[in-house]
């Protein structure tokens, strides 16, 4: 199978099997950008509702650029990976200030915007402007590598080099949408449905045994299989490996750091003290229970006493922890212990320019807290007795 046969079969399959997704009904680069940012690390079904609600609050790029971070955070709440939303706000301001509210069309200009990397820039170029550029992600590279027997240590890079000319002229939008749907429905990562695959007759993955294909993938093709049945290896007409300027990073991700946090639920006269994280800090704009990172072999009790003194200038009595929570953010894992506390000495006063409020436990749901706090807040709202004994 050459790439023209593949494209023809793929587009034919897409005509009857393509998904009906809201962002496919527009070529508005703003809406395409929002969808691409939301789809990073998040499943399609979950994104649809957020995508539609987002435009009720921010119908265009200028409205988003004028928004304050807490407003954007509120619209994004529940999607996770909140750095995406922060970068969107930053990028919106740049587009309004430097491009007069009009999305740039060139890939290199798109890549210069905050939070937009090589994949997202090319996705906007294809899905908004229908440019004939190659867009690769894990799913689409898997499809191409299986069908054409493309192998290599850095698979995404190898596919980019071999498949540079595969994008059909003036059909780039349909080609890429079809590849994504095909990878999601047929050529899946686990248990692909090869029996109903229209590519099956000449697909390397289908014609070789699974064991042989895995051997092919680890670079031992010559020793284990002899001459490959892959049209790429045979030098089929129209399919010539060549270098392609697709800037892909192959940095090895370091292990996500784990952080221990002690949080103080400070009570007074039936109210709870909450503070708001200042600008420039992780999870900025969120409300939280005051506290901070445990240092070294410091006890949890000493950690809270130190953090509360530094943040609020008061001394507190600390009870044994009532609840714990574990949560994984984009760049860190956190383990939190929540301790109910009472004030021994002093009056709370912000020492780090953060906002602070005394509120009723039942009012906690009216404020935006980090997702790691969700279960604890639900328990506090239902609690009958909230004031600890000092």
What DSSP assignment string belongs to 141-192?
A: HHHHHHHHT---SSHHHHHHHHSTT-SPTT-HHHHHHHHHHHHHHTS-SSS-
**Contacts (Cβ under 8 Å, ≥6 apart) of 283:** 82, 277, 370
Which pLDDT belongs to residue 83?
A: 86
d(CA 384, CA 141): 55
Rounded to whole angstroms, the Cα distance separating 247 from 227 reads 31
pLDDT tens per residue, the chain (390 residues)? Answer: 678 899 999 999 999 999 999 999 999 999 999 999 999 888 898 999 999 999 999 999 999 999 999 899 889 988 888 889 999 999 999 999 999 999 999 999 999 999 999 999 999 999 999 999 999 988 899 999 999 888 877 778 888 888 888 899 999 999 999 999 999 999 998 888 888 898 888 788 877 645 444 544 444 333 333 333 444 434 333 433 333 334 433 333 345 678 899 999 999 999 999 999 877 677 778 899 999 999 988 999 999 999 999 999 999 999 988 899 988 876 678 899 999 999 999 999 987 767 899 999 999 999 988 888 989 999 998 876 555 544
The architecture CATH gives domain 135-252:
Orthogonal Bundle (1.10)
Q: Say whether 258-382 and 28-129 share the same fold.
A: no
What fold is seen in the domain 28-129?
Answer: Endonuclease III; domain 1 (1.10.340)
Catalytic residue among 15, 36, 111, 279: 36
Whether CATH 3.40.50.970 fits 258-382: no
The per-residue pLDDT for 154 is 79
Phi/psi-derived region of residue 193, left when phi > 0, alpha when psi is between -120 and 50, beta in every other case: beta
User: What residues does each domain of the chain span?
Assistant: 28-129, 135-252, 258-382
For the beta carbon of residue 254, count every other beta carbon within 10 angstroms: 6
C-alpha–C-alpha distance, residues 273 and 367, integer Å: 12
Residue 298 is among the residues annotated as catalytic for this protein = no
Cβ neighbors of 164 (< 8 A, separation 6 or more) are 134, 242, 244, 246
> What pLDDT does residue 112 have?
95
- Position 328 scores a pLDDT of 80
pLDDT confidence of residue 214: 52
Does residue 126 contact residue 207 with C-beta atoms inside 8 Å? no
């Amino acid at each position: 199978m050459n790439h023209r046969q593949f494209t023809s079969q793929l587009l034919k399959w897409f005509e009857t099997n393509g998904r009906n997704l809201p962002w496919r009904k527009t070529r508005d680069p703003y809406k395409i950008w929002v969808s691409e940012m939301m789809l990073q690390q998040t499943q399609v079904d979950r994104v649809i509702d957020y995508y539609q609600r987002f435009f009720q609050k921010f119908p265009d790029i200028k409205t988003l650029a004028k928004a304050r971070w807490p407003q954007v955070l509120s619209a994004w709440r529940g999607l996770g990976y909140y750095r995406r939303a922060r970068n969107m706000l930053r990028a919106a301001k740049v587009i309004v200030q430097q491009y007069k509210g009009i999305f740039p069309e060139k890939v290199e200009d798109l890549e210069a915007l905050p939070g937009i990397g090589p994949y997202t820039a090319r996705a906007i170029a294809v899905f908004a402007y229908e440019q004939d550029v190659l867009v690769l992600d894990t799913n689409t590279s898997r499809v191409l590598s299986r069908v054409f027997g493309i192998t290599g240590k850095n698979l995404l890079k190898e596919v980019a080099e071999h498949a540079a000319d595969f994008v059909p002229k003036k059909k780039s939008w349909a080609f890429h949408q079809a590849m994504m749907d095909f990878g999601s429905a047929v050529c899946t990562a686990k248990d692909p449905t090869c029996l109903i695959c229209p590519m099956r007759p000449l697909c390397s993955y289908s014609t070789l045994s699974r064991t042989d294909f895995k051997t092919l993938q680890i670079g031992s093709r010559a020793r284990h299989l002899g001459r490959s049945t892959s049209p790429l290896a045979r030098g089929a007409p129209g399919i010539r490996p060549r270098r392609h300027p697709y800037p892909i990073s192959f940095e090895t991700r370091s292990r996500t750091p784990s952080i221990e946090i002690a949080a103080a639920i400070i009570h007074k006269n039936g109210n709870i003290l909450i503070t708001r994280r200042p600008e420039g800090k992780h999870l900025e704009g969120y409300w939280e229970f005051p506290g901070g990172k445990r240092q070294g072999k410091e006890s949890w009790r000493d950690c809270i006493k130190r953090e509360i003194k530094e943040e609020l200038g008061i001394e507190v009595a600390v009870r044994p922890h009532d609840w714990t929570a574990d949560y994984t953010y984009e760049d860190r894992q956190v383990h939190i212990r929540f301790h109910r506390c009472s004030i021994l000495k002093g009056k709370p006063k912000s020492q780090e320019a953060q906002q602070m409020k005394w509120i009723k436990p039942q009012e906690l749901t009216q404020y935006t807290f980090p997702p790691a706090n969700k279960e604890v807040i639900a328990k506090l709202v239902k609690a009958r007795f909230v004031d600890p004994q000092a």
